């Protein structure tokens, strides 16, 4: 498996790391995803899609907070990945972040996994 680091971005409240894992791009945001930090996640997601990755795995285990702006970034990436014949898989969400997805109904449009390992083992889009 290729575990090469593709890149990373950081602000005071959000760190985003990206790496290749086979045919998937694994994007790992850590910290708070909100209006002020959303572009730090949007840009790497769009870059992965532009490089031809159709399957994005978002490791949410380090995500401590997600507001509606952050949710919209993930929804936008999902639409683009779906249009390319792929998908966005969310893994390891903390309860506080999972609650946002539950309240908004967004959990129904993403493929959710308990862990990053489970997401990577699932070979679907």
pLDDT tens track for 30-86: 999 999 999 999 999 999 999 999 999 999 999 999 999 999 999 999 999 999 999
- The pLDDT value recorded for residue 123 is 73
- Could you count the other beta carbons within 10 Å of the beta carbon of residue 94? 14
For residue 122, name the pLDDT band (cuts at 50, 70, 90).
confident
- Cα–Cα distance measured from residue 104 to residue 54, given in angstroms and rounded to the nearest whole number: 25
Residue 105 has pLDDT above 80, yes or no: yes
Q: Give pTM, 2 decimals.
A: 0.88
Return the percentage of the chain with pLDDT > 90, whole number. Answer: 85
For residue 10, name the pLDDT band (cuts at 50, 70, 90).
low
CA 71 centroid distance within chain: 10
With CA atoms as reference, report the closest residue to 96 among 67, 72, 73: 67
Task: Answer yes or no: are the C-beta atoms of 50 and 77 closer than 8 Å.
Answer: no
3-class secondary structure, 98: helix
- For tokens 């290749």, name the residue: 20
């Amino acid at each position: 498996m290729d575990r090469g680091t593709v890149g990373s971005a950081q602000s005071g409240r959000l760190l985003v790391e990206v790496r290749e894992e086979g045919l998937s791009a694994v994007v790992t945001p850590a910290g708070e995803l909100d209006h002020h930090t959303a572009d730090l996640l949007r840009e790497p997601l769009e870059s992965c899609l532009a490089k031809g990755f159709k399957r994005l795995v978002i490791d949410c285990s380090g995500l401590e907070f997600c507001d509606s702006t952050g949710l919209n970034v993930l929804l936008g990436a999902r639409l683009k990945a779906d249009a390319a014949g792929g998908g966005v898989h969310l893994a390891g969400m903390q309860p506080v972040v999972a609650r946002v997805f539950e309240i908004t109904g967004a959990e129904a449009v993403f493929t959710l996994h308990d862990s990053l390992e489970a997401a990577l083992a699932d070979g679907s889009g």
